Amino acid sequence: MAAKLKGVFTPNLVPLDSRGDINEGVFREYIDWLIERGVHGLYPNGSTGEFTRFTVEERRRIVKIACEQCYGRVPVLAGAAEANVRETIAACEVYHEYGATAVAIVSPYYYRLSPESVYAYFREIALNSPIDVTLYNIPMFASPIDVPTIRRLAEFERIIGIKDSSGDASFMCRMISAVRPVRPDFSFLTGWEAAMVPMLVVGADGGTHATSGVVPELTKQIYELTTAGQIKDAMKLQLRLIELFDVMLMSADFPEGFRAAVELRGFDFGRGRQPLSETQQVDRVALQRVLQCILADFGVVDPPQEGCAVRTGAIGRDKVLQVTEAVIRELRERGIA
Amino acid sequence: MAAKLKGVFTPNLVPLDSRGDINEGVFREYIDWLIERGVHGLYPNGSTGEFTRFTVEERRRIVKIACEQCYGRVPVLAGAAEANVRETIAACEVYHEYGATAVAIVSPYYYRLSPESVYAYFREIALNSPIDVTLYNIPMFASPIDVPTIRRLAEFERIIGIKDSSGDASFMCRMISAVRPVRPDFSFLTGWEAAMVPMLVVGADGGTHATSGVVPELTKQIYELTTAGQIKDAMKLQLRLIELFDVMLMSADFPEGFRAAVELRGFDFGRGRQPLSETQQVDRVALQRVLQCILADFGVVDPPQEGCAVRTGAIGRDKVLQVTEAVIRELRERGIA
Amino acid sequence: MAAKLKGVFTPNLVPLDSRGDINEGVFREYIDWLIERGVHGLYPNGSTGEFTRFTVEERRRIVKIACEQCYGRVPVLAGAAEANVRETIAACEVYHEYGATAVAIVSPYYYRLSPESVYAYFREIALNSPIDVTLYNIPMFASPIDVPTIRRLAEFERIIGIKDSSGDASFMCRMISAVRPVRPDFSFLTGWEAAMVPMLVVGADGGTHATSGVVPELTKQIYELTTAGQIKDAMKLQLRLIELFDVMLMSADFPEGFRAAVELRGFDFGRGRQPLSETQQVDRVALQRVLQCILADFGVVDPPQEGCAVRTGAIGRDKVLQVTEAVIRELRERGIA
Amino acid sequence: MAAKLKGVFTPNLVPLDSRGDINEGVFREYIDWLIERGVHGLYPNGSTGEFTRFTVEERRRIVKIACEQCYGRVPVLAGAAEANVRETIAACEVYHEYGATAVAIVSPYYYRLSPESVYAYFREIALNSPIDVTLYNIPMFASPIDVPTIRRLAEFERIIGIKDSSGDASFMCRMISAVRPVRPDFSFLTGWEAAMVPMLVVGADGGTHATSGVVPELTKQIYELTTAGQIKDAMKLQLRLIELFDVMLMSADFPEGFRAAVELRGFDFGRGRQPLSETQQVDRVALQRVLQCILADFGVVDPPQEGCAVRTGAIGRDKVLQVTEAVIRELRERGIA
């Protein structure tokens, strides 16, 4: 039996070149950088990785690069959702050949399916996939996978875990109650870093956290402190992580805030696939200045030359937002003028 | 300037063969059958057409067949949403070559985007598409397109209309108020046949109605009665249409109930792309028996040999549901036994 | 049997004096004014009447004044929801003595109850009320009353109608389909004036419209045009009504925008029960200036001395909103300065 | 300055006698029983206490009894929400005289108010209440209180804490980040026992947990284990608590399942204020049988004579639900027969 998935997996953002194509060079460098900073696994083609905005061929190329560049240093959990069951199973086969550790498959989206349909969908995949499958529950974007359905699907050996992005600690408890007694090897990953510590405390095995693509040092430290029982220290960092997470999440449409942040770590990720309006382009410049201040506080980048407003712990978040607004106002005026 | 889109467009279901591939022969026959029964246009690759469950190549083939088989008898509004702006514009180019009348593009889905991002997305398409574009608002499944955004987008000549599936008559009024004074040629189509008459009454130009793929005779009649001002007669049919619509919509995950119904009109549509559980397969048999009774009432099919429960107008809907439940129970018992 | 409830009922706002108590004098004048302008009935203690913000004794006094002042000129539909079934039935008894025509009882709120509980609640009332009862469905604020439950409750003769504020024309169709065949006397009232015409077209008997408390002339005219089959003329006014409705609804927390508007008709309604922050007080002044321009367009008040921005039909709504924002900005600056 | 509110507060269910009035004798016994079993405080007139279903006079009597019966053994947090600000402040004055420790005031409900209105409402109370005030956020039932508003309200010394029933651990983190640096004495209580351990872990000071009215021994133990850092042991109990909580919450409309459970502890709580349909009465008998099995597992009551299905830890919950369904079916058949 394969090792249980655990720790912090990075849902990889994808760098693009000036023509809007995958920037393979930067992607490979970025993967090395992440692994060197201690992420426990990679997760290409997740929501953070904007899998819906790439073509079938591009999604395959992304996983291929990830598997090659990893060459076994850390596990690769490859997002394999395609247009329908047949195409998804085909992707499973390809990713198995590429050497991925397992695939993660988001529940059917666009249509909101009933639990029975969600079951039928994953059942078909479980029966035909040559590679281990992780369910991916993200009720904000896709058909929810409820606890009884997870329980039924856990009867398939091929299904080895679930990644849940609901952010609901009680739901995590319910899943664990329902599944762990019959499948102790089943892996529970959370996709919501704003609740990373509480999720680990109630029994999650780890998480796939977009912020680990920006500050892998920090998410690793929170994971290690929490699993070592040093909850109070972990919580101090958790609160600061939420500050960063909220700014990235709320100042732009997901995942543009994360793209803006990762650039500050020294990677040219290029323009995203979703076009930005003029207003949004101005906002993004302002957002980056604020993010630079937050990242400087973590000691991972230099502060901006023009300096940062004084920020005192978590309370600073509001100040940061005020600064954001002020900067945005200023830039908009200049932009319009 | 092209003629304004108006009347009832059929969002085409796609027949599949025994291998799960597009059944071109049945599809062509079905298109002829629809046009003969008076639908005013075709709408391939809509939500009813399960566009997300087909590959890029299949989506193109679907539009190609539709355009060919129509050869100008009625307009073709081709669903053109692809993974990203570039791919969507490429689809616009191809569908333009195929001779489609216009394309309909659903607002970005999976991620819930802000109005500003929705604007930026359609703006990019409007500036680059060689074919007229209809916005497609379906807030149940995709990022909502709000009235101010519609207003801004109506400034692009290339954008010629909106298909709205919210089912909200007040929203239709607000859109018309905001856009018609500046763009009298802008077409407003509703995608919610449960409000077909009220939507036409408040000023919609027509609709894309999945039920028109099952009972084109009926939707055509409702449209003609309403536009002729015979509202009371139209409303009698509207209430009966809702009965049929509700059974198709609520007895199975969309659009499986519509697939079940169209088969009763004599077309073999094959198994859908979304797998059905055993329970769902049994339910589907029961559903078809109920649907046959409703369609027999419209005089478009024969009643089932075993007869139908007495149904007296709209009140019958509850009885129908009771029958459904009874039949389902019976079949389930047999199915399990 | 009593006459079926039909036409436009005004959900009465309650004027308060300088101590925050019910201003009986103004309330009586206001009722006369409404009846003189042709409203078909009064509806005290509705949501617009802020029934939850008055004490038990005040609610009774409101109904008493309404019944006295009407003295049979128009029917009074009295809101009778109290803390529990026993208290609600007690209110029914009192309102019966006061001479109310019927009571309207909102579905249980705060807790979201299941259909079975909603049924049990109204069943108890139906069995014990000495006065006819209208169900009140407002899913935005209270437990929803679904179609099967309405159907079950329509079996009680004491229940004579439903007021539905969902604004969903399809839901209106479903209710009518389910109930009218067995209870042709059952009254269907809509509480959503943004869909007044479509609701009447699909079969509603009338509505309880907060805007009729501000422009009774206009709602009466829309009702009469629609019931006379002059739909196009009715729709022109419907679109203008939506403009007014939206500004009152969206520029302040409900029903403060309606309180601001009714004052422009010459009544001193005093400060509402829900306190306003300083910002909100400034906003209210700006809102009134905009409302005065809209009401001046209807010819029911004079325009403000400083004039109005040019407004051309429905498209003016955006302009109005722009003006609102400009005025608000200006006043805020002054307010803070 | 008063001691910070902390620990487990019991939101008191209210026993009723055969006429439906408050059963003072049982209520006093019940309060003694709770205090003897170690609850840290009482919380009369909360959602569990069905405050909306009592009259003004009854709510006062409930708090009076609670304060008297406690006579200082544990703090009393009295729910003080009334129809409007003036009445609420009057209740604050009365409860202050009764000797309550503080009041808890739910955000305005029925209407969904904006943050600015929520602020204005609590500001007015903070400026006029003679007794310390705890905000009560329960977005499921009432207008949400967002983090910036909590932060603004924390500037009033009179406001000493918040009870949050959102169940969202990330929201708890955000509140703590925003308020604790400026108000270290501010108390954070969670109202969602399905997340009791994670909430305490991220920094909550305690909770108001309806289950503590049923199994005070258990909630006390979870609280003590968690605050002592014995997280793993606490989590074992947390999972079992969720099992009980879910059955009480999901098998009947809140809080009827809790009323059914507390009766098993030996108190006659009488019929609730919200009437039950015949079906619901049968369901309630079945529910109690299941609850008795769960409570027997905790060792606090004897198992039912007819025995319980074998239950093995958390996994048993599904079995329990199966049993529930079986029993319900059986009883329904008997009930109908």
pLDDT in tens, D262-297: 999 999 999 999 999 999 999 999 999 999 999 999
Give the pLDDT mean for A119-130: 98
pLDDT, residue D310, reads 63
CB-defined contacts C:D, below 8 A: 109
Q: Do C168 and B170 touch (CB under 8 A)?
A: no
Q: How far apart are CA B105 and CA B145, in angstroms?
A: 12
Grouping H, G, I as helix, E, B as strand and the rest as coil, residue C116 is: helix
Distances in whole angstroms, Cα of residue D1 to Cα of each of A260, D4, D104: 46, 9, 18
Paired with D164 in beta bridges are: D137, D190
Average of per-residue pLDDT across B223-237: 98
Q: How far is CA B161 from CA B98, B133, C316, in A?
A: 21, 7, 21
Chain A touches chain B, with at least 3 Cβ pairs below 8 Å, answer: yes
Q: Any idea which of B260-264, B303-307, D147-151 has the lowest mean pLDDT?
A: B303-307
Q: Does the beta carbon of A197 lie under 8 angstroms from any beta carbon of chain D?
A: yes
The band of D306, judged by pLDDT with boundaries at 50, 70 and 90, is: confident
Collapsing DSSP to helix, strand or coil, D30 comes out as helix
- The answer to whether D117 contacts C84, with C-beta atoms less than 8 Å apart, is no
Q: Over the stretch C156-188, which tens digit does the pLDDT of each residue have?
A: 999 999 999 999 999 999 999 999 999 999 999
Is residue C159 helix, strand or coil? strand
Tell me, what's the pLDDT at B310?
63
CB contacts under 8 A, A 206-245 vs D, are 229, 231, 235, 238-239, 242-243
C177, B317 Cβ separation under 8 angstroms:
yes
Please determine, for residue D334, whether its predicted confidence score (pLDDT) is greater than 90: no
Q: What's CA A174's distance to the chain center, in Å?
A: 23
User: Does pLDDT of A302 surpass 70?
Assistant: yes
Do residues C331 and C285 touch, judged by C-beta distance below 8 A?
yes
For the residues A297-319, what does the mean pLDDT come to? Answer: 71
Alpha-carbon torsion D308, D309, D314, D319, what sign? negative
Residue B269 vs residues B24, B25, B166: alpha-carbon distances, Å = 11, 11, 28
* More confident position, C325 or B63: B63
Residue in chain D lying closest to A226 (CA): D201
| pLDDT value for D137 | 98
Distance from CA of C42 to the nearest CA of D (A): 21
Q: DSSP readout, D37-55?
A: TT-SEE-TTSTTTTGGGS-
Average pLDDT in the D58-87 region?
98
* Length of chain C counted residue by residue: 337
Instruction: Residue D54: list chain C partners with CB under 8 A.
Output: 83-84
Residues D259 and D2: beta-carbon distance below 8 Å: no
Least confident of A29-33, A70-74, B235-239, C324-328: C324-328
The count of other CB atoms within 10 Å of the CB of residue C318 is 16
For chain C, the chains sharing at least 3 beta-carbon pairs closer than 8 angstroms are B, D
User: Measured between CB atoms, does D156 come within 8 Å of chain C?
Assistant: no
- The encoded tokens of residue C90 equal 């007690």
Span B202-209, average pLDDT: 98
Residues of C (83-102) whose Cβ lies below 8 Å from D: 83-87
H helices of C37-84, in order, are: 56-70
The two three-digit tokens of residue A306, written as one number: 């023009």
Residue pair B99/B67 in contact (Cβ under 8 Å)? The answer is: yes
pLDDT per position as a tens digit, B291-307: 999 999 999 999 999 88
Q: What are phi and psi of A321, to 5 degrees?
A: -65, -35
Q: Closest approach of chain A CAs to the CA of B151, in angstroms?
A: 16
The arithmetic mean of pLDDT across residues A250-277, rounded, is 97
Q: Cα–Cα–Cα angle for A82, A84, A90, nearest 5°?
A: 65
> DSSP string spanning D295-323?
HHHTTSSPPPTT------GGGHHHHHHHH
A24-28, B323-327, C135-139, D194-198: lowest mean pLDDT where?
A: B323-327
- Residue C1: the pLDDT is 56
Determine the residue type at C271.
Answer: R
Comparing CA positions, the residue from B140, D250, B166 lying closest to residue A143 is B140
Residues of A (279-318) whose Cβ lies below 8 Å from B: 279-280
Looking at per-residue confidence, does B331 or C4 come out higher?
C4
Contact B170, B142 (CB under 8 A): no
Name the more confident of D146 and C326. Answer: D146
List subunits contacting chain D, requiring 3 or more Cβ pairs under 8 Å: A, C
Binned at pLDDT 50, 70 and 90, residue A3 comes out as confident
Q: How far is D102 from chain C (nearest CA, A)?
A: 23
- The alpha-carbon gap from A28 to the nearest alpha carbon of chain B, in Å, equals 24
Please name the residues in contact with A259: beta carbons below 8 A apart, sequence gap of 6 or more. A13, A269, A272
The nearest CA of chain B is from the CA of C309 a distance in Å of 17
For residue B84, give the chain A residue with the closest CA.
A53
What per-residue confidence (pLDDT) applies to C309? 76
What is the pLDDT at residue A319? 41
Q: Residue B250 is encoded by which pair of tokens?
A: 């609520």
Mean pLDDT of B68-80: 97
Phi, psi (degrees; rounded to nearest 5) at C175: -60, -45
pTM to 2 decimals? Answer: 0.93
- 3-state secondary structure string, chain B? CCCCCCEEEECCCCCECCCCCECHHHHHHHHHHHHHCCCCEECCCCCCCCHHHCCHHHHHHHHHHHHHHHCCCCCEEEECCCCCHHHHHHHHHHHHHHCCCEEEEECCECCCCCHHHHHHHHHHHHHHCCCCEEEEECCCCECCCCHHHHHHHCCCCCEEEEEECCCCHHHHHHHHHHHCCCCCCCEEEECCHHHHHHHHHHCCCEEECHHHHCCHHHHHHHHHHHHCCCHHHHHHHHHHHHHHHHHHHHCCCCCHHHHHHHHHCCCCCCCCCCCCCHHHHHHHHHHHHHHHHHHHHCCCCCCCCCCCCCCCHHHHHHHHHHHHHHHHHHHHHHHHC
Q: What is the DSSP string of C200-238?
A: HHHT--EEE-GGGGT-HHHHHHHHHHHHTT-HHHHHHHH
Nearest to C286 by CA among C333, C239, C243: C333
DSSP state of C110: S
Which residues lie below 8 Å from residue A127, measured CB to CB, with a gap of 6+? A156, A158
Contact flag C178-B315 (C-beta cutoff 8 Å):
yes
A244, A259 in Cβ contact below 8 A? Answer: no
Separation of alpha carbons A143 and D193, rounded Å: 27
Q: What is the pLDDT of residues B107-153, one digit of tens each?
A: 999 999 999 999 999 999 999 999 999 999 999 999 999 999 999 99
On average, the pLDDT of chain B sits at: 93
Distances in whole angstroms, Cα of residue D163 to Cα of each of D105, D156, D191 = 9, 16, 6
3-state secondary structure of D65: helix
Q: What is the model's pLDDT at position B78?
A: 98
**Contacts for D295 with CB less than 8 Å, ≥ 6 apart:** D214, D215, D244, D261, D264, D265, D301
Is the pLDDT at B69 greater than 70? The verdict is: yes
Tell me what pLDDT residue A320 has. 45
Q: CB within 8 A of C128, min separation 6: which ones?
A: C89, C92
D104 backbone dihedrals φ, ψ, rounded to 5°: -115, 130
What CA–CA distances, in Å, run from B169 to B145, B230, B333, C165, C192? 15, 19, 43, 14, 11
Over 50: is that where the pLDDT of C310 sits? yes
**How far apart are the C-alpha atoms of D243 and D237, rounded to whole Å?**
10
B323 band by pLDDT with thresholds 50, 70 and 90 = very low
